[in-house]
Amino acid sequence: MEKRMKSYVDRGNKYLAKGEQKKAVDMVTKGLQYYSENILEAISPYSASDAGLLVIVLRHIADKVEKNNTGAKEFAEQMSKCLVFPDIKEVTKIKKANRE
């Protein structure tokens, strides 16, 4: 079954409309955690030598998402000031590659 998520931002805005600011921020923080975990799962494992390449790819994707979605850049800038970013735990494991 295809995963389709209800918007964390829309749900957060509903809480704001009710005057429940803490619940709104918590909802958006849950969304941040959800998307962070999914992206990390998609790119892991990766070679430490490719970390810089990953940074370039993720910034490129972010730039395109901002360009193609009106208000996304401004939203991100404003929310970055009040959200608590989730801790990212990376574990370094040295293994031989099984793909070229």
What whole-number distance in Å separates Cα of residue 75 and Cα of residue 95?
40
The H-or-E segment that residue 11 falls in is: helix 8-17
Residue-wise pLDDT for 37-88, tens only, equals 899 999 988 888 999 999 999 999 999 999 999 999 999 999 888 887 877 7
pLDDT at res. 57: 97
What whole-number distance in Å separates Cα of residue 94 and Cα of residue 46?
11
Give the distance, in angstroms, between the CA of residue 31 and the centroid of all CA atoms in the same chain: 8
What whole-number distance in Å separates Cα of residue 16 and Cα of residue 100?
49
What whole-number distance in Å separates Cα of residue 15 and Cα of residue 18?
5
